[in-house]
Structure 1
Amino acid sequence: MKQFIPVIELDDFCMEGRTNVKNKRTGLLYAILLLIIVAAFIPLPFYITRPGEAHTLNPIVDVDEGDENDTSTLMLTTIQMGPANIYSYAWAFLRDYEEILPKETVRYSHESENEFNVRQVHLMDTSQQNAIAVAFREAGKPHSWIYKGIYVLSVFPDMPAEGVLEAGDRIISIDGRSVTSSKQMTDYVQAKKPGSRITVAFTRDKKKYEKIVQLRAFAELGGKSGLGISLADDRALKSDPKVTLKADDIGGPSAGLMFSLEIYDQLVEEDLAAGLKIAGTGTIAPDGTVGRIGGIVQKVVAADRAGAQFFFAPDDKLPAGRTDVKTNYEEAKKAAEDIGTSMVIVPVQTFSEAVDYLRNLSASK
């Protein structure tokens, strides 16, 4: 008797096997794809910086009835910065002029991402106000300061103010008493006994709030009372003519020098740097001192790409004995040599030095 073996069943087994293999491969591909996507959202304890852009200042800065016939081009320079993931980290490691920075060198240890952004906005705002004051004083134009309150930069975790105040709040009074400086508020709070309750009035998103906070003793303050917040005086400058700056997308204080030069150039009748393209960077203090900034190598690259002919770099004074650090000017000059640019790197320590340099350039043409 012959045994009948149904061939159809063997074919079914083969097809089923091939289907299982295909399904496993598809599942593996999906798993790998998912892993790739998830890895992009896993933050690393680093920030990545790279060259940004050189922004022409004339469209950003507007002085009422200012001189609009200038032929010079003044530019602020920026860097791009963001939290690192595994891909941006690897990419930055391979590319020139991209820098990997440990998170603790960018943000304070207690600072959230939102608080960091608030601090950058406040630094930019302060830089703009200082720039207006410096330019108006140099041009002999009237200006005055208006006090707006105390700006909350950050709230320390597990401190009395946590859950009550937020970064960006403006404190206007304590226990019904208006406060006119962060020092005045600090002195008032520290004079209270630990455990005391105070009423803090503040504004947030244009709304006014009043909250009660119980003070705590802080060892860092020698046992004195505190709220657990970092503060800054919030002031605005009133000037005649009025100055409007449209730089909402730019954070930090490093555009101060270039803001002040553009404002001054619009205030005076002379064409400060006739026909030239001038870029630069540096903080500006109320007395006109130009201060050190970060990322200057990348800003040199950005300025060169924009076709700048001259670049102002802070010639900052280093602490005594610090031979491991270069001045901003030294860093910028080395970067210019590395990229082979013909752009002239100009060291400046004060706003007046920058103005004098531009005047001499214009006179020598």
Structure 2
Amino acid sequence: MKSKSYILVFLCGVLLAGGVTFFPLPYYITKPGMAQELAPIVQVDGGYKEEGSFMLTTVRMGKATPLSYVLAQVQDFQHIYPEKEILQEGETDKEYTYRQLHMMETSKESAISVAYKKAGKKISFVNHGVYVMGVVKNMPAENKLEVGDRIVKVDDYEIKEDQDLISYVSKKKEGDSVTITFDREGKKQIETLGVEAFPGQEKRVGLGISLITDRELMVKPDIQMETDKIGGPSAGLMFSLEIYNQLVKQDMTGGYEIAGTGTLDDQGKVGRIGGIQQKVVAADQSGADIFFAPNEEGDENSNYNEAVKAGKEIKTKMKIVPVDTFDDAVSYLETLTKK
């Protein structure tokens, strides 16, 4: 009897330990990631080499468990977020990952566009349809279209960009139907969807999907960027600096290890990102000399001020530099004394 009791206690202990370690909670935990050199990721055909390096910085994020939740309460630079602050309403983890990857694609396009224009290179765009980025519950697209589907036709009307589809469907009346032709994982599919009014918006009709244009950027010289496992828009600024540095003769790094973060739009404006303090820690641990942070036009709660605060806490020797635009970063680098 005693041996059976010992086995039962042991099994209960195993189950309890497993629950504490692996049972998912409705929270996410973020912590410092790493600083990753961009030269191996970004390859401009015939691009110039550099003595130093530009680095993107990352934040690690995962679903909380009871154990990780408790540890995050007492460990520096770990933050806990409720699911609703990470996922959109009704969004799955898979859909969140897909959304992040598409935000990365948009970020890459902006980075390439800004860098090539600054270097005096020509660029052009070709549109290939639109991707479904979200599906609204209790609307016609639910259970028929999925995040990641690429729509190429509505009825016999070819779709090149998101506004094509929006304009076409908005002219329909509630109760009408449309035939959607789309690609899903390389296979052509067709679905007929009704047109309905959005809940609480009787004058606005649609299918219940959010869209993003599948836009291909055409440039010379050619460029390859291996970013399949990187999500989100926060590397835009650093991508643009690496691309630009490969396009011009002057080595903008000056031999320094340069990290940073910030979104980037097509006009070269640098925007706020999440996890700035954790990225400062990641850059410091990777030996960066300089860290670019979004200045947000001097706002007292800017990413830059948060980065400075984190830098003081970890006693970093990095120079933390505020930037509002891509040109701000380039101007700063042009004045650097070579290391």
TM-score bracket, normalised by the shorter chain, equals: over 0.9
2:37 to 40, 52, 56: 56
Asked whether the equivalents of residues 128 and 161 of structure 2 are also in contact (C-alpha less than 8 Å), the reply is no
Query: 2:25 — aligned with what?
Result: 44
How many pairs does the alignment contain?
Answer: 339
- Counterpart for residue 312 of structure 1: 292
**1:5-44 residue pairs with structure 2 within 5 A?**
20-44=1-25
State the 1:220 CA deviation: 4.2
Does residue 240 (structure 1) correspond to residue 220 (structure 2)? The answer is yes
Secondary structure of the equivalent of 2:336?
A: helix
Comparing 51-60 with 183-192, greater Cα deviation is found at 183-192
CA distance in 1, matches of 2:225, 2:47: 13
Q: Which residue of 1 aligns with 2:231?
A: 251
- Tell me if the contact between 1:191 and 1:224 (Cα under 8 Å) persists in the aligned partners: no
Paired residue for 1:332, among 262, 282, 307?
307
1:351 is aligned to 2:331: no
Q: Post-superposition shift, 1:221?
A: 3.5
The equivalences for 1:288-307 within 5 A come to 288-307=268-287
In the aligned structure 2, how far is the partner of 1:146 from the partner of 1:318? Answer: 37
Where in structure 2 are the equivalents of 1:59-208 lying within 5 Å? Answer: 59-68=40-49, 70-208=50-188
Point out where structure 2 has 5 or more consecutive residues left out of the alignment. Answer: none
CA deviation map 1:124-179 (0-9, x unaligned): 01101110000000000111111121111121233211121111111111111012
- What CA distance in whole angstroms lies between the structure 1 residues aligned with 2:165 and 2:159? 6
The residue aligned with 1:6 is none
Deviates more, 1:185-194 or 1:343-352: 185-194
Work out whether residues 193 and 224 of structure 1, in 8 Å CA contact, stay in contact via their aligned partners in 2.
no
Report deviation, 1:39: 4.3
Give the whole-Å Cα distance in 1 for the aligned partners of 2:251 and 2:77: 34
Structure with bigger gyration radius: 1
CA distance in structure 1 between the partners assigned to 2:101 and 2:90 by the alignment: 18
Q: Which moved more, 1:200-209 or 1:337-346?
A: 200-209
The SS at the match of 1:87 is: helix
Amino acid at match of 1:46: Y
* Residue matched to 1:218: 198
Cα separation, partners in 2 of 1:356 and 1:317, compared to 1, 3 Å: closer
Runs (4+) of structure 1 exceeding 6 A deviation are none
The 10-residue stretch of structure 1 (177-186 or 299-308) with the greater mean CA deviation from structure 2: 177-186
Matched position secondary structure for 2:335:
helix
The percentage of aligned residue pairs carrying the same residue is: 45
Check 1:273–1:362 CA distance in 2 against 1; reply closer, same or farther (3 A cut): farther
SS at match of 2:217: strand
Letter in 1 for 2:78: E
Instruction: Indicate the SS of the match to 2:102.
Output: helix
Question: C-alpha separation between the residues in 2 aligned to 1:81 and 1:115?
Answer: 16
2: CA distance, partners of 1:223 / 1:88: 47
The amino acid that maps onto 1:353 is: D
- TM-score using structure 2 length: 0.96
Shift, 1:318, TM fit: 8.2
Say yes or no: does 1:271 pair with 2:251. yes
Query: Offset of 1:90 from its aligned partner?
Result: 1.2
Residue type of the alignment partner of 2:290: F
SS of the equivalent of 1:257 reads helix
Indicate the SS of the match to 2:129.
strand
Q: CA 1:350/1:34 → structure 2, altered by over 3 Å: closer, same or farther?
A: same
Equivalent pair of 2:32/2:282 in contact (CA under 8 Å): yes
TM-score scaled by structure 1?
A: 0.89
